[in-house]
Each structure stands twice: as C-alpha cells, then as structure tokens.
Amino acid sequence: MTAFAYFLVAIVAAGMSTRAWLADRLEPAKVAFLALGWSLAITWTLFALSLLPGLAILRIPYAAVGALVPSLALYTVDRLFSEQHAASPLVLRLLVLSLGVIPLTIGLHIAFYLGSPGISYPLVALGFYVFGVFAVLLVRLWRVHDSTPLRVDQVRLRYLIGVISGAVGLSLAEQVARVLVSPSAPEGLSFAARAVALQGPIPPFSALLGAVGIYFVYHSVVSYRLLDLYELLSRLGALVVSALALVTLDGIAVLWVDTFQDYPLHTAFQAFVASILFLAAYDPLKGQIDWWANRLLNKRGHQLFEALEALRSEIPKATTKEMLTHVILRRLHGSGRVPVCSVYLWEAARDGYGLMGIRGEVDPEPLSAVAGPPFTDGFTEEGMRWYTRAEILRRSRSEDPLATEILRLMDAMHAQLTIPFRSGDLVLGWMHLRDEDWSDGFSAEELSRLLEVASLAGVTLSNIREFQALEEAHRLAALGAMAAGLAHEIRNPLAGIKGAVQFLQGEPLEESAQDMLDVAVHEVDRLNVVVSQFLEYARPFELRRTLDHVNAVVAHIMQVVRAQGVPDGVELVEDLAPDLPPVQLDRGRMSQVLLNLCQNGLQAMEDGGRLRVRTRRRTGRRGDVLEIAVEDSGPGISAEAQQQLFVPFFTTKEKGTGLGLAISQRIVQAHGGELEVASRPGVGATFSVLLPLPAEEKEPEQREDQVEAAK
C-alpha cells in the first residue's frame, strides 16, 4: 500500500504538469512547471520501486533526481511569481550548481559507499544541500508574499508556503527516521511489511502534502489563482465523507464473510460487489454530499451558489434590460458574497456601454459609460472569458498596454472581476463584481457558474432585442394599416379645404382676410407634409440597392444643399477619405437620409458655424464599418433629448414634424447599419451613418467595373 501511494502521487504530479503545459507549450512558467512535475513524478516512482524486493539499487537514481527537485521548484516559482516572469541570476546559479553537486556526490557514494551498511557521508552532504535549497525556496516565496500588493495573493501564498513547509519538514523527518530506525533484515519480511519497514516509522505524509502543493501550483500556473482555504476544506470534506462511506461499506462486506483466511477469493469478491454498489449509488448522492460540505465548510460560496441557481431560473423570464439588470444585481448583492456589483449594457444612442445599475457603496461614483474598445478587446480579440484584477495587474506589469488600459477602466468601475454578456462574438455588456477585504477571491467553480449565468444573460439580451424588433414590426404594421386609412380620410378634406380657401383668395377681400387665407393654405400644406411623412414612416418599403461609392453620394448631396441655399455665416466642409470600397445601398434612400441630416445641422446653426461631412473607415462594435458623419457646430443636444431623438413625433424644432430622424433611422437599419448621435450642449452634434463593409473586398479593377455597370 505504501508503494501504491507513491505511484498515485507520481501520477498526479505528472498529469497536472502535463495538462498545464499542453494548454500553452511555449509559456516559460508552464515549461518550468512541466519539468518540476515530472521530476517529482520520477522521484516518487523510483522510491516506490526501490521498496520492492531486488530493486534497492534504484535508491541511487531516486537520490539524484530528487536532489534536483528544489532547484526546479525555485526556478518555477521565479518564472511564475516574479514581475518579469523570468528566473533571477541566483536561481540560475543554484540550478547550475545542482547539476554539478548531484553527479559529484552520487559518484562518491558509488565509489566508496555502495553496498556499505553504514552511513553514506556524500548522500548526507547531498541531503544538507537539498534542504538548504528548499530553505532558499521558502525564503523566496515569503519575499514574493511581502512584495505583492494584493491581499488575496498574500493569503493564497501563505497557503502555498504552509503546504511546502509541511512537505519539506515531513520529508526531512521521514529521512531521519529511516536512518535511525532501519530494518536489519528486510529480506525476511513479507511483501507489504517490507515496503512499510523501508518507508520507516512515519507514513508517506510528505508525498501527500507534496501532491497538494503541486495542486496549488497548478492553479497558479493555469489561472493565476491558488485555492481558497474554505473551498479546499469543502472539497476535502466531501472527499473524506465519500471515502469513509466506501471504507465502511467494504469493511462490512469483509466482516460479513468470516472465512477470509480459508476463502480469500470469496472475501475479495464480496468487497468488489460492495464497491460496485457504492459507485452505483454514489453518483446521485455526490451532489448532496458536495452541497452539505459546501454549506457547512464554505458558507460564503454556498450562498453565492444558491443565488446563481436562482438566477438560472429568473434570468430567462426577464423581458426588458432594466428587469434583467434588477434581477442580476438583487441576487448577487443579496447573497452576501458580492458586496459591490454593477451591470453595463450596450446603448446605441451613446455608442458605448452604459451603467444600468449598481448595488453596494462605492466612492467615487463609477463611470457612467464606457466605449467598447479597448476594454472589450480582451474578450473579442484575445478570447479571454473574464477579467480578474489580479491577472490583469500581472499583465500590466509586463508592460502590456492593453492590460494597463483595462486595469485603469476596471478601477474606475470598481471591479475586481468582469464577466461579459455575449451573443456569439458580439459583446452585449458585462457585469462587474467586487470582493470585500476579507475575501480570498472567487473560486474556479464560482467563476464557472458565474460564466454560465452570464451566458444565459447574453441569450436573454438577444431575445429581448429580437422581441423588441418584432414588437416594432407589429407596431409599424398597425401604423401602416392605420396610415393608409388616415391618408385617405385626411387628404380628401384637406384638398377640399385648400380649394375653398384658394377660391376665396381670388375674391376682393380686406388685406387682413387675405393674410388669414394665406395662413390657412400654408397650414394645410404643412399638415399634408405631416400626413405624407407619417405614411412613409409607417408603411413598409423595399430598397433598390446597387454597388455605389458613398463619396459620390455625399458629393451629390452637398451640391443639392448649396443649390437650396446656405445661410449666411455657415461654412460647408467636405472631408472624404480616399480609397473607400463601394457598398450596396439604395442611392435615393441614402440621399434622403444625408439631406435630412444636413438640413437639421444647418437649421441648428442660426448664428452661423461650420457643417462638416466626412467619410472614413471605422472600427465599431461589430467590426470594421464605413462611416458617414454629419457634424455641426450648433448649440448641441441635451442628454435627455438624445434619448428621444428617434421616437416618432418627438422634435426640438418649433415647426418640425418629428418624423425625419425616425424615417432616417429606418432607412439606415434597412441597410444593415446604425444611425448614431453624439453631442454635448454648447459643442455641437454629430450624426453618424454606419454601414457594413463587404465581407470580401474584391480587386480594385473588378470593383470599378461593377460600379460602372451599376451606373
């Protein structure tokens, strides 16, 4: 059983280090961890084999490989925890020194002490050297502990230092016990007794703690996170309960058959059947065992799990973004595990992500809005599933400009963990979570469950958008049917009223009466325009797209604006980017949009100013797009008005209908694009038409041929 225990921990060390290395074979820390894990695996395997009869000679390679372990452990620690993730000169010198000391001492032992029953002084000297390097390792870890600014990392490093100290101390005690209490004639003992005798009076606790240490380092290498103490206790508690249940069942099976000496095969079969029955019953019981262990030993984590389970059932029921935000914040903050949490969601009107809600006390107030890039680049370009402040901080210390910017924004939003809401490659928003000072961070299982909830929220947000689009389509269909009837019922009386008024204008009337008739004709014409625009907005329309250059469309619209007359004091500026690819668009409809935006800009600059129309490529939330921006230097638009700009019949003009921007938005959306507004009071306003670029841009000659053919 003793040899089998060493084999098991060897498999654990080799398996974890190999798994971490396979995730990224070029990362130096994972390469160093691979060397450390396999050196421990070989060391424990050689020692386990040396306990078997006839294989005592394997103690020599066991000593050689085992003596290299502390140097490799020190090298791994430097690669993992140093700011530059590089080994220090001292560590490299110790590694080179080990490669010299080990062959020398092993050679002296073989030359002078091989087969000798006495103490081997070269191996004793090698032992002093090995444990001296272990002492350097512990000192190095403690210095890392003192230098890290994060309390979470300090707590976890103390766990690691405690585990390694225990493993080293027990290993030293086991070695001393073997020397002082060694069997005189192990050859005369049974197979099992021989292994126990050669192990010494102390069981292989050092190997067990060494495996736990490897498990801790594995979490640091893979996710830069050591296990939380409560999480570790919870897992160990569940494991101990399961093991006790299995041992109890097997013990009952063995005791039930009281003829073990006479019929050992029957007893073994009885234990085998009992184990099969236990495994069959264990699967449905495992969830309950983990639940109770988590509740008793990891109360904070249990409260969060309960909240996340409730969210899994409540999130799909949300029908608005506000309802979804309320559900998420209420559950997470109410769990007691998340003292501060907030939700940011995409808002087209802001061309960014706006703060939808926050729970918890923070000072100062978090950012009210965040542009997508560069904050979302880690999700979209680097494939990161979440941001943890500790990991982003480590990356920023390596002079990573993206990590530095992400860290700045996380601090401004009071976040220690950011998990995105995604729909495919599109980031719809995210939730921020913050820990209390006493917290050791979120466990790997907690992160996994939070990610599941965030994925569910992403699906719900997509459903909300589709539902709102469907609701809008139904509303427009109803408006279209109503508009057709209204147009008929209103236009005929309007024509009659206008005809009667125009008839009266031909009669000899007083000047004041003629003025009133002119007002009546003007108002009838204006009402007719409103009815026409309402009909155009409400009824469905089809685009007649051709491959066209937006610069040509803009140049044509600027000619139309100049022909209609530019107010005094207003300067028209064209800023058209060259070499823009042609796109599929309805030239007439897009001209209608741009003309409306230009007229709005001119009307906003009563005291003169500058109207600038520019085109360019732009990287937006959906990737590269083609932008047509109309900028004015007028008084700007208030934040409250910006929220209502595209609502039908909302207008800030005295004589506006409130349908121009609503119609323009419909036309742009029908092109698969977006119409955005950005403005600050007193600075002016910018309306941007964003059109998707072709999926595959063709050769310039082929594009020009297609454009000419379209003309």
672 pLDDT higher than 70: yes
Note whether 425 and 360 are same-domain residues. Answer: yes
Question: What confidence category does residue 175 fall into, taking pLDDT thresholds of 50, 70 and 90?
Answer: confident
Question: What confidence category does residue 641 fall into, taking pLDDT thresholds of 50, 70 and 90?
Answer: confident
Domain-ending residue, one of 538, 560, 590: 538
> Who's near 680: CB < 8 A, 6+ residues apart?
636
CA 330/CA 680 separation, integer angstroms:
33
Note whether 88 and 196 are same-domain residues. Answer: yes
Determine, yes or no, domain membership for 291.
no
491 pLDDT higher than 50: yes
Predicted confidence at residue 497, as pLDDT, reads 79
Note whether 625 and 515 are same-domain residues. Answer: no
More confident: 697 or 563: 563
Predicted confidence at residue 311, as pLDDT, reads 92
Domain-ending residue, one of 517, 538, 559: 538
Predicted confidence at residue 711, as pLDDT, reads 40
Predicted confidence at residue 705, as pLDDT, reads 45
236 pLDDT higher than 70: no
* Residue 411, token pair as written in the block: 């601090």
Note whether 514 and 559 are same-domain residues. Answer: no
> Who's near 195: CB < 8 A, 6+ residues apart?
1, 2, 3, 51, 52
Dihedrals phi, psi of 694, to nearest 5 degrees: -60, 145
Predicted confidence at residue 238, as pLDDT, reads 62
For 330-374, how does the pLDDT look when each residue is reduced to its tens digit (9 = 90+)? 999 888 788 899 999 988 766 689 899 999 888 888 988 888 888
Which of 291, 284, 293 has the alpha carbon at shortest distance from 305? 291
Determine, yes or no, domain membership for 325.
yes
Note whether 614 and 529 are same-domain residues. Answer: no
30 pLDDT higher than 70: yes
Across the range 256-267, mean pLDDT stands at 56
- HSE value, Cβ hemisphere, 13 Å, CA-based, for 140: 23
CATH of the domain at 417: 3.30.450.40
53 pLDDT higher than 60: yes
Across the range 31-43, mean pLDDT stands at 94
Determine, yes or no, domain membership for 297.
no
67 pLDDT higher than 90: yes
CATH of the domain at 571: 3.30.565.10
Note whether 520 and 454 are same-domain residues. Answer: no
Predicted confidence at residue 704, as pLDDT, reads 46
Determine, yes or no, domain membership for 74.
yes
Note whether 167 and 71 are same-domain residues. Answer: yes
CA 368/CA 379 separation, integer angstroms:
21
Note whether 258 and 394 are same-domain residues. Answer: no
Note whether 244 and 188 are same-domain residues. Answer: no
Domain range for 238: 229-281
Across the range 278-289, mean pLDDT stands at 64
More confident: 146 or 470: 146
Determine, yes or no, domain membership for 328.
yes
More confident: 399 or 548: 548
Determine, yes or no, domain membership for 296.
no
Across the range 25-35, mean pLDDT stands at 89
The answer to whether 21 and 33 have CB atoms below 8 angstroms apart is yes
265 pLDDT higher than 50: yes
For 556-605, how does the pLDDT look when each residue is reduced to its tens digit (9 = 90+)? 999 988 888 888 888 999 999 988 899 989 898 899 899 989 988 898 88
Predicted confidence at residue 224, as pLDDT, reads 54
Sign of CA dihedral 96, 97, 100, 105: negative
Note whether 362 and 313 are same-domain residues. Answer: yes
Predicted confidence at residue 533, as pLDDT, reads 64
More confident: 541 or 432: 432
Predicted confidence at residue 216, as pLDDT, reads 79
48 pLDDT higher than 80: yes
Domain count, the chain: 5
Predicted confidence at residue 628, as pLDDT, reads 93
More confident: 613 or 512: 613
25 pLDDT higher than 50: yes
Note whether 454 and 356 are same-domain residues. Answer: yes
Determine, yes or no, domain membership for 693.
yes
Domain-ending residue, one of 468, 487, 515: 468
Average pLDDT for the chain: 80
Note whether 313 and 331 are same-domain residues. Answer: yes
More confident: 114 or 303: 114
Percent above pLDDT 70 for the chain: 75
11 pLDDT higher than 60: yes
Predicted confidence at residue 107, as pLDDT, reads 93
706 pLDDT higher than 50: no
Across the range 228-242, mean pLDDT stands at 60
Determine, yes or no, domain membership for 46.
yes
The answer to whether 141 and 157 have CB atoms below 8 angstroms apart is yes
Predicted confidence at residue 456, as pLDDT, reads 93
* Residue carrying structure tokens 């809005």: 369
Predicted confidence at residue 512, as pLDDT, reads 79
CA 345/CA 330 separation, integer angstroms:
17
Helix (H, G, I), strand (E, B) or coil at 505: helix
